[in-house]
Amino acid sequence: LGCNSAFARDAGLSAAEGIVGRTDLDLPWKAQADLYRGKDLTVMQSGTPTLDFEEPLTTAGGQVIWRSASKVPLRGPDRQFIGVLGIYSDITERKRQEEQTRQLLAENETILNNARVGIAYLRQRKIVSCNRRLEEIFKYGPGELIGESSERLYDTRETFDRIGITAYEAVAKGESYSTEVKLRHKNG
């Protein structure tokens, strides 16, 4: 193996420790050696680059980081295969943020789906998402309201227009809005 100083730094190795002449099995990421060797073998056998994939790497300190990788075949002057060139960048922070976002979305979905009230998110008065309770209240099936105009829930067009004007004026000013109106089930 050979590497540049940035790769060694990301892996938690000093330049003095080096990796030249060592195999993946001799280094901190030996747990991922089969994964790396499999990708290398695919590139060697196919002669085709494998681009922009994600993989874990265990550092010298035992921490698992994530990296984006691309591997391309290297050929000598005679076009014979002589190795694989790997290009890596550390994406650990991005992966951490993605996981945090997934957790927040799961928590949000749990809250919405266990609320005792109907909740809908609207964009330009169309239903972007809603919880199951809202669908139950109005007698709609799962997902049936998504993409529909919220007018479908109002008893009259006049009520829909009036609420649109007064509610959006309040929201535009950063105020909250609350009212009581007659609404309509799916069956009318």
The answer to whether the beta carbons of residues 57 and 64 sit under 8 Å apart is: yes
Instruction: Specify the higher pLDDT residue, 9 or 179.
Output: 179
Q: Give pLDDT, residue 16.
A: 53
pLDDT at residue 4 in the model? 52
pLDDT tens for 141-152 read 999 999 999 999
Own/partner contacts of 21-30, CB < 8 Å, gap of 24 or more, are 27/1, 28/58, 28/59, 28/60, 28/61, 28/62, 29/57, 29/58, 29/59, 30/58
Cut 0.75: pTM above it: no
Distance CA 170, CA 130 (A): 22
User: What residues form DSSP beta bridges with 47?
Assistant: none
| Average pLDDT over the chain, rounded to an integer | 89
pLDDT digit string, tens, across residues 73-132: 998 899 888 889 999 999 999 999 999 999 999 998 898 888 999 999 999 999 999 999
- Per-residue pLDDT tens digits for 12-49: 666 556 677 788 888 888 889 999 999 999 999 999 99
Segment 54-81, tens digit of pLDDT: 999 998 888 999 999 999 999 889 988 8
Instruction: Provide the CB-side half-sphere exposure for 151 (13 A, CA).
Output: 8
Residue 180 is predicted with a pLDDT of 92
Tokens of 56: 């874990």
